A and B are shown apart, each in its own frame.
Chain A
């Protein structure tokens, strides 16, 4: 087999035994890599129905098909466990060198079972597995931990996935971080913390071989050069943050906890402002010729010295969404999240929820008291310094930080139960995952994508904001096309997340990002790497299969059609201003669109998957368990 080793490494964290599992080529042809293979490994290795924090919930890594080859932006891996935020599939992607090291160590995937008895740094050294004491790493930040491990083990090429203080302290939305990139959103860090797993390090010293290196090199070279052109300019020059002024113009920039879609100080927290005043350097993930990560530094004020890479999603959550117009506070907040390992989107949205609680009198100043702030905090919208203090309380699980460390769903349910309040009305999450930076009230196809998404409120898995924002659909209304559009855009994204390739390369193959522009080029890359004979249809099926295995997993974990829902606010509480003023997604509209979506997928009215469809997709064992 080319492109793969054919081997999955299993490690039992409790007994410290490890064993290799050989997978046939046919298995790889169905699940490929990334989120799809990681979700499949989760399907195979979890004890169904277990609590996400129990030993029965494994940690599943899956490498990429192009990892370790010069194919641009192919250095990524998938990570899956059952999410403690959603109770459903928690599938994440992270870029960079960890994946490459794992590939060179000779593993297509790794499954970690059970829990460690004491804090552990796991070291996969080619085909040897070592359990090291991690006491010396506790409390260290994510990048610091990686460096400390490299120093201790004495090799610069050792790559590690780590958790920071947030994972150790069991923040429900803690991340796993490697090389400054995050496997984020779904709370992997909490699972690792519960398992007392501080870091997984890999050294891979073997070379990677492909089927037809001459062809692959030429294809990779051409894409790499074309990725310096205008199709990637916005990522290279300003990074993803350049989207902020556009979402503001369209009136979908979440502002003050999703109350409005227009932020009066958007200019001050834009990617362009960031570029002028804070940018230090642009850096890249492994084997990426684009380089989009805008390392940004605070030079003045109380947060001077804070520095991290700023992305649009992190930026909206910690600026406009908090009513904060001092971008320095936003950079500080994101630095805390990145350095200590928690999800910057969920953190920002949760603090936004707390701010609204404060403004509405549900939470009082004294509720925010701590040793450091005995008087409490005035957590008004716009108070960046108070937001920073609250972020630190979340990280350290101090005072109200304990409640806010649970995310908006559990926090609002707990608070409402205790105080008889209705804070769930402004808890903006889908299936327990806080929403990303496109307010879906006036992006109705995207609303459908979020409601039906297996991961919860995630803009990476549902790409349906794209047709809405480009005007390919009427974003303020619903019609009979939406089920198809939402399904197709989800499966389009799933192809990239499964290979995985970063989506930012999508226009660089042929200048056209759609299926007709990208799929034939991707098929060529797959064939040169593996020696398979993939065509357009095979590439298209990659996305369908990825969405299907994730959905099947959720069904087995107890998903019902009622779980495909939207935040209360998006259904009942319209914007007062901007292009989307007055619109909500009504329950009737949502029900209608869901029906269309299930139809487009070939599922039943209840959203379940027919047996024949699963068999046709090459998943007979899945059909046996959840097919109808």
Chain B
């Protein structure tokens, strides 16, 4: 593996404390195809357009590729900073709600977000943030479409469990199953 998953998580997690689930991308699996952006923008706007996607792929160099969406921070900075109280956080899910009547597209939330996970729609001038496709019975469309299963909607605890399992599976040989004496 060219990038240890643990290294990546430590660096990012240091600035984000979230007990909530959010869309996370495994950079070892992401190939950078951007299908998540196509399907996200289509689900939300009816058009395929990366500029309108609420999840964004990032290609830092030729091989360092991943995708980022809202990380549902606790005490979310975007909510705190909003001068019009247009943003609120659902205490159950951590999802950020944008009140269209209050938001005027001032972009303070964009500056406050460490993850670059918020954008302003140029047509509506409203802030747009990932909502886990909460109204879609199929759940997050990016997760459904990701061809490499790099995306998942999970909590940090769930990912920690998965990391432990992966570590053990990679560190030890599987015990040999008893062979048929015949």
Contacts and interface: CB of A to CB of B under 8 A. Distances in A.
A281 interface: yes
Interface stretch (B14-22, B26-34, B85-93, B156-164): B26-34
A280 interface: yes
Contacts of A224: 35, 145, 147
Interface in A86-113: 97, 100, 104
Nearest to A155: B51
Contacts of A205: 49, 51, 122
Nearest to B51: A205
A157 to B, nearest CB: 6
Interface string A145-161: 00000000000110000
B31 A207 contact: no
A180 interface: yes
Interface string A217-250: 1000100110110000000000000000000000
A152 B62 CA distance: 19
Given A70-B42, A208-B48, A295 B62 contact: yes
A404 interface: no
B181 interface: no
Given A104-B49, A287-B38, A180 B31 contact: no
A70 B65 contact: no
Contact of B34 (A69, A217, A287): A287
B152 interface: no
Contacts of B84: none
Given A280-B63, A281-B63, A208 B145 contact: no
A200 interface: no
B2 A206 contact: no
Contacts of B46: 207, 209, 213
Contacts of A287: 33-35, 38
The A contact surface, by secondary structure, is: loop
Interface in B104-158: 122, 145, 147-148
Contacts of A97: 34
A157 B57 CA distance: 10
Contacts of A285: 33
Contacts of B39: 70, 217
A227 B32 contact: no
A485 interface: no
B164 to A, nearest CB: 24
B41 interface: yes
A411 interface: no
A614 interface: no
A69 B41 contact: no
A143 interface: yes
A411 B42 CA distance: 53
A513 interface: no
Interface residues of A, number: 37
A209 B31 contact: no
B157 to A, nearest CB: 28
B50 A157 contact: yes
A341 interface: no
Contacts of A104: 49-51
Interface in B60-108: 62-63, 65
B49 A206 contact: yes
A209 B148 CA distance: 26
A220 to B, nearest CB: 9
Nearest to B27: A281
A283 interface: yes
B65 A283 contact: yes
A210 B46 CA distance: 10
- For A68, A69, A143, A284, the residue with the greatest tally of chain B CB atoms inside 10 Å of its CB is A284
B32 A69 contact: no
B33 A217 contact: no
A282 interface: yes
A291 B48 contact: no
B31 A213 contact: no
B178 to A, nearest CB: 31
B52 interface: yes
B9 interface: no
Nearest to B63: A281
A209 B38 CA distance: 11
A295 B63 contact: yes
Contacts of A210: 48
B33 A288 contact: yes
Contacts of B41: 207
A283 B57 CA distance: 13
Contact of A207 (B28, B34, B45, B148): B45
Contacts of B47: 206-209
B51 A70 contact: no
Nearest to B48: A208
Contact of A280 (B2, B50, B122): B2
A428 interface: no
Contact of A227 (B34, B49, B147): B147
Given A225-B147, A286-B33, A157 B48 contact: no
Interface string A546-587: 000000000000000000000000000000000000000000
A307 interface: yes
Nearest to B49: A207
A143 B64 CA distance: 14
Task: Return the 9 tightest CB-CB contacts between A and B, nearest first.
Answer: A207-B47, A289-B147, A207-B49, A291-B31, A284-B31, A284-B33, A281-B63, A208-B48, A70-B38
7 contacts: A70-B35, A70-B145, A104-B49, A157-B51, A205-B49, A206-B49, A208-B47
Given A100-B50, A206-B47, 17 more contacts: A104-B51, A205-B51, A207-B45, A207-B48, A207-B49, A228-B147, A281-B63, A281-B65, A283-B62, A283-B63, A285-B33, A286-B33, A287-B33, A288-B31, A288-B33, A289-B35, A291-B147
